Structure formats: structure tokens, C-alpha cells
Amino acid sequence: MYISILFSRAIQSISDIYLDLGLNLYGYFAPGVEWLTLIPVFGLYPAFTIIYLNYFPFKSSLLKKCIYIILYSICATIFEWLSVKSGYFYYNHWKLWYSAIIYPGLLIILPFNLYILRRIIKLEYHISNKK
């Protein structure tokens, strides 16, 4: 899980560097670097990743996985909309529907990343037990 959190954190950081600081499409609280930004970056986003991956239906049908991803995408979009309304997040040239389109792709990458990590760990375990 920690590696998955770091992976999602890396994606979020890269996105923010280019889309927020570089292109000024959106931001947190106020333009520029804000200390308050650390709250969602190190609090909300890792918590979301843990909850999302802990309940992801890895052994269920493709339909259930798709429904799960769609529901979490809707929740993330609603959370973003509420964040904009509350002033925690602001848009310059960004639109909410951009995020609504991007969320499913990101939410597909996270469980795939965890699946690959688990396979690597399992393979390493089998290799180390053969020695």
C-alpha cells in the first residue's frame, strides 16, 4: 500500500507541477506555493488511495470493477466540485469535466499498479525461498 500511495503521490505531484504551477490551470487555496496545500497532498490523497484500493473488487467480474471505478470517479468529481465551491481549490482555465474524464483513467492505473507490485513481491518471495 505504501508504494501505491507513493505512486499516486508522484502522479499527483507531476500533474500539479505542470498543470498548476506551469500552466496555471488550477490551484489550491491561492496562487503560488501554499503551506495549506500540504494538508490535501499528504492527508486527503493518500487516505483516498488507501480506501479505494482496500475495497477494490480485484476478484470480481469486469462489470463490477467498471461500476466501482465509475462510482469512485463520480465521488471524486463531486468532491472536486465541492472543493471549488468551498474555496479549497480554484480553476483558472480548467473545467470540472476535464477531471471527470481523467478520473477513470487514473482509477484504472492504481489497482493495476498494486496488482503488479503484488506480483513482484510474490515472485521475489518464491525466488528467495528457493535459495
**What are the backbone angles phi and psi of residue 92, rounded to the nearest 5°?**
-105, -70
C-alpha dihedral, 92 to 98 to 99 to 105, nearest 10°: -150
**1-10, 62-71, 95-104, 105-114: range with lowest mean pLDDT:** 1-10
| Amino acid making up residue 88 | Y
**Residue 9 banded pLDDT, cuts 50, 70, 90:** confident
Kindly report the pTM of this predicted structure: 0.85
> Is 131's pLDDT higher than 80?
no
Distance CA 70, CA 91 (A): 23
Angle at 26 between CA 11 and CA 80, to 5 degrees: 75
